[in-house]
């Protein structure tokens, strides 16, 4: 693996686990065995390295969500697939910790990326909700945009509750609650 890719890969873990403020470029360099000159050859500094790691996380998350929501099957099944996907819930969302990190959210480079990764899933979920409504899987009177926000908030809240209680079953309960709400919104057969 080339040095630049190794540096980005090594930065992803501390950004996820500790956030931007607590991510040390020295620790990233030590984890890769790269010299400081290598880092500054590829990146302008810590913020630029973090941007590359966040961009890689963004690409992976978008691909996963697109697979969940854009795959085959009825729209409601795809919403369930998105909700029930295997996640490492005790580690939390790769973007959730950054959203809580004042230094990351003060960054003109990182903040817009983090904001977008909280807006994007809502924008991706809403059309699938509308598709479920058009296919008579969900009641047509529901506000698809608000339901998409509720689904995304339920997933994010599930991460927070699971981490705070150190209990992954809390995330499962949050997802079960969202699924139950979707089931109550089903159209009558």
Let me know if residue 163 belongs to a domain: yes
The answer to whether residue 189 scores a pLDDT higher than 70 is no
* Chain mean position to CA 163: 15
The verdict on residue 152 lying in a domain is yes
Task: Judge whether 26 lies within some domain.
Answer: no
* Residue 19 forms part of a structural domain: no
Q: Tell me the per-residue pLDDT of 8-57, one tens digit each, with 9 for 90 and over.
A: 999 999 999 889 999 999 999 999 999 888 888 999 999 999 999 999 99
On whether residue 44 sits in a domain, the answer given is no
Residue 6 inside a domain? The answer is no
Phi/psi of residue 113, nearest 5 degrees: -70, -45
In this predicted model, what pLDDT tens digit does every residue of 24-33 receive, in sequence order?
Answer: 999 999 999 9
Nearest 5°: phi and psi at 138? -125, 150
Judge whether 45 lies within some domain: no
Q: Is residue 72 part of a domain?
A: yes
Can you give the CATH number for the domain in which 136 is found?
A: 1.10.357.10
Q: How far does CA 34 lie from the centroid of its chain? A: 29
The whole model's pTM is what?
Answer: 0.90
- State pLDDT tens for residues 93-134: 999 999 999 999 999 999 999 999 999 999 999 999 999 999
- Count of structural domains, the chain: 1
Half-sphere exposure of 55 (CA within 13 A, CB side): 9
Q: How far apart are the first and last CA of the chain?
A: 54
Q: Which domain holds residue 102?
A: 54-184
């Amino acid at each position: 693996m080339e040095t630049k890719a190794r540096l980005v890969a090594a930065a992803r873990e501390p950004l996820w686990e500790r956030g931007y403020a607590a991510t040390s470029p020295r620790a990233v360099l030590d984890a890769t065995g790269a010299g400081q000159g290598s880092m500054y050859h590829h990146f302008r500094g810590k913020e630029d390295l973090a941007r590359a790691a966040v961009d890689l996380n963004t690409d992976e998350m978008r691909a996963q969500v697109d697979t969940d929501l854009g795959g085959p099957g009825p729209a409601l099944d795809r919403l369930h697939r998105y909700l029930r996907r295997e996640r490492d819930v005790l580690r939390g969302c790769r973007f959730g910790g950054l959203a809580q990190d004042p230094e990351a959210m003060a960054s003109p480079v990182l903040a817009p990326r983090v904001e977008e990764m909280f807006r994007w899933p809502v924008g991706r979920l809403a059309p699938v909700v509308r598709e479920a409504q058009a296919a008579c899987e969900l009641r047509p009177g529901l506000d698809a945009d608000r339901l998409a926000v509720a689904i995304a908030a339920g997933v994010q809240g599930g991460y927070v509750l699971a981490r705070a209680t150190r209990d992954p079953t809390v995330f499962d309960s949050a997802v079960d609650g969202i699924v139950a709400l979707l089931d109550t919104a089903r159209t009558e057969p």
